[in-house]
Structure 1
Amino acid sequence: MIGKLQCVVLDCPDAGDLARFYQALLGGAVNRSDPRWAVGDGFATLHTGDGLVFAFQRVAGYRAPRWPDQAHPQQFHLDLDVGDIDRAHEQVLALGATLLRVDQAGWRVFADPAGHPFCLLG
């Protein structure tokens, strides 16, 4: 092993807004005190209850991915297990997500408010 994952960093147009979106989706604390990062207008963190850390950094001229358009590739995506996919579907829409596709297997592909794809798996 060469290293240990510290956090996943997502580029976005508004770091605080996207951190709060993922907080509502995953739980946890936005901008919890942590000596590894300096948070501010252009950088926010989310420490989840299960120990995952996400960071969000503002990028001037941010260009959102357009899944599945490879001219604007997705860059990464998250798969999230949910207990009730229909309820989770409504909840993420209410948070500002956009439905991109419902797969034949029943999982659903959404975009977060900054355009990053994520999937709900029931």
Structure 2
Amino acid sequence: MHHSRLSTLVLDCQCDDLREATAFWSAALGKPIADVDVEGDGSYAELETSDDEPLVLLQKVDHPSRVHLDIETDDQDAEATRLEKLGAKRIAFVKGRWWVMEAPSGHRFCIVKKQREAFGPHLNQWA
């Protein structure tokens, strides 16, 4: 048995400097900037969200800008297997930290480790 839920809305930004995109999305969504440089290399920024909301993460990318979802889980392999049974495909296991998946519709999304201390009220339990 494992658990999962929608974790993060990731704004993939094809840009030179993520700070400009972060300022725009902060103002557009009415969410203060939590961290303009999460990993210290200019590749990720985060907006402030409440504990019962998905995280909002901005990611500097080389591909065209788009939005993707992260699903957090306490068992990444079990969740990937569950989603494969629904028609998703595993694309890559990145940095030993998350699965990039592709839905039957062609949308890319990620399966990540639990992102917050408590899973919260919107938790799914899978056998």
TM-score class normalised by the smaller sequence = 0.3 to 0.5
Indicate the structure with greater strand content: 2
Higher relative contact order (CA 8 A, sep 6+): 2
**TM-score normalised by the chain length of structure 2:** 0.38
**TM-score normalised by the chain length of structure 1:** 0.40
